[in-house]
């Protein structure tokens, strides 16, 4: 039995009921282009590969690859990429724009940077299904006014439709993490919901959330004055978590106009 490595953030999924529920949510079909990030011991891979016929997997831990080759590869056409998921070029696995399906039980310690890496390649991705820390899923799917709403929520919703599917308890993993997990579905937009430069939007949102409990007037001081914010139909006395993606896009355009 492989000893999970803390430096890789390994928590191996083993609960058959949870695995079945994830596969049902993904609904894999023969011939679809799919990549699994971090297959680990292959619990999910074992179920996906026979349904797809062919599957790419990205695994960093070299010691796990012989087991995948011996136990999982005979079930179909398995292509193993020994690589860092944070640096991997996923677009080369896609047969065309919005065609690649991405799945994985993501290590908690790299989940946010990995999501942003994938968003940079989102035009090649059809959908993503991930197991993540429940708190991260709540942040990804939160709407304006929700206490979990912040930069991650806004940027994810610029790129994707988000849907929290179900929660998973610690006992479904080996070793059991100290937190609850959840499965999320992300579907990249073919056309973004607002017209704005994503880099400029990200910078403005980061500044707006510098101190969550302070108002826009305070957090954006030196960037956009209160009168300009008010002229956009936005109350400068609001805290940033009250603003929608569309309102942040308006602020981004106003900032660009003053440069």
* Average pLDDT along the chain, 259 residues, taken 10 residues at a time: 46 90 98 96 95 97 92 96 96 96 91 94 97 96 94 95 96 88 97 95 95 93 94 96 97 88
Residue 10's pLDDT is 54
Place of tokens 């979990």: 148
Burial of 73: CB neighbours in 10 Å, binned 0-12, 13-18, 19+: middle
3-state secondary structure of 245: helix
The domains of the chain, with CATH numbers, are: 6-188 (3.40.50.150), 198-258 (1.10.8.100)
Q: Is 145 left (phi over 0), alpha (psi -120 to 50) or beta?
A: left
pTM: 0.91
Please state, as a whole number, how many other Cβ atoms lie within 10 Å of the Cβ of residue 228.
Answer: 17
| Euclidean distance between CA atoms 65 and 121, whole angstroms | 26
The first and second tokens of residue 237, run together, are 């006395």
């Amino acid at each position: 039995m492989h000893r999970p490595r803390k430096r890789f953030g390994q928590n191996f999924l083993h609960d058959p009921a949870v695995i079945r529920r994830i596969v049902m949510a993904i609904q894999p079909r023969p011939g679809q282009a799919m990549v699994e990030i971090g297959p680990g011991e292959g619990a999910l891979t074992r179920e996906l590969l026979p349904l797809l016929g062919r599957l790419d997997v990205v695994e960093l831990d070299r010691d796990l690859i012989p087991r995948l080759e011996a136990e999982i590869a005979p079930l179909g056409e398995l292509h193993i990429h020994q690589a860092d998921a944070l640096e991997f070029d996923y677009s080369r696995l896609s047969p065309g724009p919005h065609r690649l399906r991405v799945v994985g039980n993501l290590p908690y310690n790299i989940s946010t940077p990995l999501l942003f890496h994938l968003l940079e390649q989102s035009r090649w991705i059809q959908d993503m299904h991930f197991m993540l820390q429940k708190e991260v899923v709540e942040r990804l799917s939160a709407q304006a006014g929700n206490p979990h709403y912040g930069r991650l929520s806004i940027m994810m919703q610029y790129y994707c439709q988000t849907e929290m599917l179900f929660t998973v308890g610690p006992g479904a993993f080996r070793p059991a993490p100290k937190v609850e997990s959840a499965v999320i579905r992300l579907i990249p937009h073919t056309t973004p919901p607002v017209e704005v430069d994503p880099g400029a939007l990200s910078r403005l949102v980061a500044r707006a959330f510098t101190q969550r409990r302070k108002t826009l007037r305070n957090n954006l001081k030196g960037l956009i004055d209160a009168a300009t914010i008010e002229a956009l139909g936005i109350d400068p006395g609001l805290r940033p978590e009250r603003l929608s993606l569309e309102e942040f896009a308006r602020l981004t355009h106003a900032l660009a106009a003053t440069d």
